Chains A and B, each alone.
Chain A
């Protein structure tokens, strides 16, 4: 056993827990370095496998994936941040990254078939990077491979993680920057350059998705612990902050240069928003004031997604991760010095959990940034609980847990289907996106490119990034919300629509988005003035194409 002093590295750094043991204690057949590399390679390879296999077929292409791909398209093709009015709903770091990635591909958006497929390959690469970072973070915090392997197992295999991490979402890229920031801070070189790069990573996380801000207090605490006893602490702290501020300042400068930093006449009224131009600070104010009910509201988005989407996909990572987080917080608060690693990991998960439960507007995939940290907590706490066991028991227990979770009992990889047959989980078995490809093929074959079409964003790039493009194919979100499309092109009149191409649950989204009645004219077109010319149904997924009857007759 190592002395208690191991708990804090040089300069009060976060290190393994007291008595956790460094490499000489962690016995094994292979030399420590080789073992480390081998296990890391296994984790990375398994992450690549679970995310790459069936990547283009499951899950369905979603609206948000389409939005970010179309915004990346706009960056490359138009030199703008969005093909529509960019109203600062999100910082552009993610789709600038996607655009940079697409720009180097030989066939750009078509390199992997569909544009979203091309984006998903980037997500796969990002996930591989994330696995590497998570493994290293877990190992540095615990000095134990067990914690790192277990954390990566959940991160790689949890169905809720695989489901969302395959999708082209800002959150996945943001997680990469946050993990990189933490990874750099857990490096023990105590260099100013390392702290600065960590700050830069965090700044990039902020302009990739703003809710990375909720990690700031914990990362700040980690930074402070790491450098507090160093001679260069002032530079490390100052440069971290400055580097984080750099990308954010570029973003605000962009808004300022476009005269879109402040709303006109400093009008921050939420009831009568400024109409003449969009403004970054107004959008932030608007976002801060949006509310869908917090954890105390049983009808809130938090409970809706927890019970309706997340827990059904994987209850284990959420429940065990939350329990591990609470355990880590309690142990860490009891003795911050000895259990600094548990406290850091638990606080990282805890700070983002606070964001989720506080009651802002939330989408289904907002759970993504929580997942690596829940996995990290499970790994660290399991290692903590098994610390006094023999190596053989530790490996057996962890291995058994992973096998059980992969089997039908856990359902991570295999499950019993409706026919009580052993089958791979839907993630690796059910092809969903071919339905959307058929829908797209129908549009291309039967609808003229001059048609005015209401679509969902998932097929926006395929319709616009071809020759000749469907110039008048627009998302129902923009047809209802962007005055340039709604008022100038469609004039809020169903007669100006030729076709409506419905993605799965698009109808539901239109109804939910119709609080101000701006979707009504499109719903009216569907309900009273259209003919269903194509449809496809599989399970609870339904795709439909309507042709609008300009002769006045409807179904």
Chain B
């Protein structure tokens, strides 16, 4: 019996090591090959503005940040007549509606047209429903989504216009980056997850044609949205879902991450909010997995990649359980040397992930003109294991919610921390 345990332990260790190695490769995919890095950068010269954009700004209880976001979108370096802005609210969210109306009025007084408020009073009250509602009013060539707290770069439309004119892709995912890496114990690790996801992993997914898209700063040719029937209103990660559906019908996507043009966001303000956000993402991925659109992808490699990506929450939950079991076994089981050495492989991979995070922090801070201290590295080291446990807990919670049939949307609260820091920096400057 104990022999069987050792065999199982060895197999799990090898599988974990392989999984860790693969994840690591995804994390450094663009850094690995300088040619990929060059391909993923934004164009250095912009083409003449040609494409028109419908900007969707779904907002719920975002009265604190919505006006600033609208102002930033409207203030983009792109001809006003080529940009349509649709702020989308549910009828019960009077606070946000009021703030948005004021901003629309203010813009009208400045003779800025094409900014409208779309209010819906039917259900469900969630982001995909809001987007589908607004899609009916979208009139421009390209439809894009920004979140209410996003700091949109003024040149993002020039970047996408140039990319779409030179590359026959129907979808462009541009970079999104959390910025407030020093605010909470988990902030740096959360920021780095975004950094690696948008700067590297998504490029890999795009290359192999199985990409779970992000929730904002994503640009679609309007026709492809109509072709797939818009967003899935029952899915908690409608962004990833639409990416998989588009991939399954052969619509290619291009990812552009350039530190200069990312959309800036903030980490969830509390651990509870963070767990809720992660639970939603994990649950959404599992919903997409169960829907099975990924099975229609033409290539086996695409299907495998999609299945792996969407299964990842389960893997993460298993990792959490394994971590606890491993801790117990470390003290309770005197395994043979060979088994112990094999069990060490995932630890090596874990260490390499941490090393990658440490380097990533240096890359991130350098890219955004900040400086990472060794104290921050130490904090990250201390937070590392608890953070993995939190992720595993959120994944387990997602599995539990699916089992219990709970599918409600747990919205992440936004306080504009990334803006406060930026503005403080600007004032100091």
**Of B166-174, B211-219, B311-319, B347-355, which binds chain A?**
B347-355
B28 at the interface (CB under 8 A from A): yes
* B256–chain A nearest beta-carbon distance, Å: 16
CA distance in complex: A230, B37 (Å)? 11
Closest-by-CB residue of B relative to A235 is B31
As a 0/1 sequence over residues 123 to 135 of chain B, the CB contacts with chain A under 8 angstroms (1 = contact) are 0000000000000
CA distance in complex: A189, B359 (Å)? 21
B122 at the interface (CB under 8 A from A): no
A191 cross-chain contacts in B, Cβ below 8 A: 32-34
Q: Given A231-B37, A242-B351 in contact, is the A253-B32 Cβ separation under 8 Å? A: no
Closest-by-CB residue of A relative to B348 is A246
A450 cross-chain contacts in B, Cβ below 8 A: none
* A74–chain B nearest beta-carbon distance, Å: 14
* A326–chain B nearest beta-carbon distance, Å: 37
Complex partner residue of B34 from A230, A242, A253, CB under 8 angstroms: A230
Chain B residues 20-57 with CB under 8 Å of chain A are 28, 31-34, 37
A246 cross-chain contacts in B, Cβ below 8 A: 348
**A250 and B351 contact, CB distance less than 8 A:** no
* A172–chain B nearest beta-carbon distance, Å: 26
**Of B272-280, B337-345, B378-386, B420-428, which binds chain A?**
B337-345
CA distance in complex: A190, B31 (Å)? 10
B352 cross-chain contacts in A, Cβ below 8 A: 239, 242
CA distance in complex: A504, B358 (Å)? 57
* B210–chain A nearest beta-carbon distance, Å: 22
Chain A residues 39-73 with CB under 8 Å of chain B are none
CA distance in complex: A234, B364 (Å)? 12
**Contact residues on B (Cβ < 8 Å of other chain), bracket:** 20 to 34
Number of interface residues of A (CB under 8 A): 21
**A190 and B340 contact, CB distance less than 8 A:** no
- Summarize A's interface: helix, strand, loop or mixed: helix
Which of B32, B37, B344, B351 counts the most A-chain CB atoms under 10 A from its CB? B32
Q: Given A234-B362, A253-B344, A254-B337 in contact, is the A190-B34 Cβ separation under 8 Å? A: yes
A257 cross-chain contacts in B, Cβ below 8 A: 337, 340-341
* B110–chain A nearest beta-carbon distance, Å: 42
**A192 and B363 contact, CB distance less than 8 A:** no
Which of A230, A239, A250 counts the most B-chain CB atoms under 10 A from its CB? A239
**A235 and B28 contact, CB distance less than 8 A:** yes
**B341 and A232 contact, CB distance less than 8 A:** no
A258 at the interface (CB under 8 A from B): yes
* B335–chain A nearest beta-carbon distance, Å: 9
As a 0/1 sequence over residues 339 to 367 of chain A, the CB contacts with chain B under 8 angstroms (1 = contact) are 00000000000000000000000000000
B344 cross-chain contacts in A, Cβ below 8 A: 250, 253
Closest-by-CB residue of B relative to A10 is B34
* B295–chain A nearest beta-carbon distance, Å: 32
Complex partner residue of B355 from A193, A238, A250, CB under 8 angstroms: A238
A239 cross-chain contacts in B, Cβ below 8 A: 28, 352, 355
* B201–chain A nearest beta-carbon distance, Å: 15
A535 at the interface (CB under 8 A from B): no
* B268–chain A nearest beta-carbon distance, Å: 28
Q: Given A192-B32, A234-B363, A249-B348 in contact, is the A254-B341 Cβ separation under 8 Å? A: yes
B359 cross-chain contacts in A, Cβ below 8 A: 234-235, 238
Q: Given A234-B363, A238-B355, A242-B352 in contact, is the A250-B341 Cβ separation under 8 Å? A: yes
As a 0/1 sequence over residues 241 to 255 of chain A, the CB contacts with chain B under 8 angstroms (1 = contact) are 010001001100110
Closest-by-CB residue of A relative to B338 is A79
Complex partner residue of B341 from A79, A235, A253, CB under 8 angstroms: A253
CA distance in complex: A370, B143 (Å)? 65
* A310–chain B nearest beta-carbon distance, Å: 39
B340 cross-chain contacts in A, Cβ below 8 A: 253, 257
Complex partner residue of B37 from A79, A232, A254, CB under 8 angstroms: A232
CA distance in complex: A232, B338 (Å)? 36
**B28 and A192 contact, CB distance less than 8 A:** yes
CA distance in complex: A232, B29 (Å)? 11
**A231 and B341 contact, CB distance less than 8 A:** no
Complex partner residue of B31 from A79, A192, A242, A258, CB under 8 angstroms: A192
CA distance in complex: A254, B337 (Å)? 7
Closest-by-CB residue of A relative to B358 is A238
CA distance in complex: A234, B361 (Å)? 11
**B31 and A232 contact, CB distance less than 8 A:** yes
Chain A residues 197-252 with CB under 8 Å of chain B are 230-232, 234-235, 238-239, 242, 246, 249-250
* A276–chain B nearest beta-carbon distance, Å: 19
CA distance in complex: A257, B37 (Å)? 42
Q: Given A242-B355, A249-B348, A253-B344 in contact, is the A232-B32 Cβ separation under 8 Å? A: yes
A230 cross-chain contacts in B, Cβ below 8 A: 34
Which of A79, A190, A246, A257 counts the most B-chain CB atoms under 10 A from its CB? A257
CA distance in complex: A242, B340 (Å)? 20
Chain B residues 170-220 with CB under 8 Å of chain A are none
CA distance in complex: A257, B342 (Å)? 12
CA distance in complex: A485, B37 (Å)? 61
CA distance in complex: A230, B32 (Å)? 11
CA distance in complex: A193, B352 (Å)? 13
B37 cross-chain contacts in A, Cβ below 8 A: 231-232
CA distance in complex: A232, B356 (Å)? 12
* B119–chain A nearest beta-carbon distance, Å: 46
CA distance in complex: A491, B344 (Å)? 41
As a 0/1 sequence over residues 79 to 105 of chain A, the CB contacts with chain B under 8 angstroms (1 = contact) are 100000000000000000000000000
CA distance in complex: A52, B218 (Å)? 63
Closest-by-CB residue of B relative to A81 is B337
B residues contacting A by CB (< 8 A) are 28, 31-34, 37, 337-338, 340-341, 344, 348, 351-352, 355-356, 358-359, 362-363
11 examples of A-B residue contacts, CB within 8 angstroms:
A192-B31, A193-B32, A230-B34, A232-B31, A232-B34, A234-B362, A234-B363, A235-B356, A239-B28, A239-B355, A257-B337
Known: A193-B33, A253-B340. 9 other contacts (CB 8 A): A190-B34, A232-B32, A232-B34, A235-B28, A238-B355, A238-B359, A239-B28, A239-B355, A250-B341
**5 closest cross-chain pairs (CB), A and B:** A232-B31, A192-B32, A234-B359, A235-B31, A238-B359
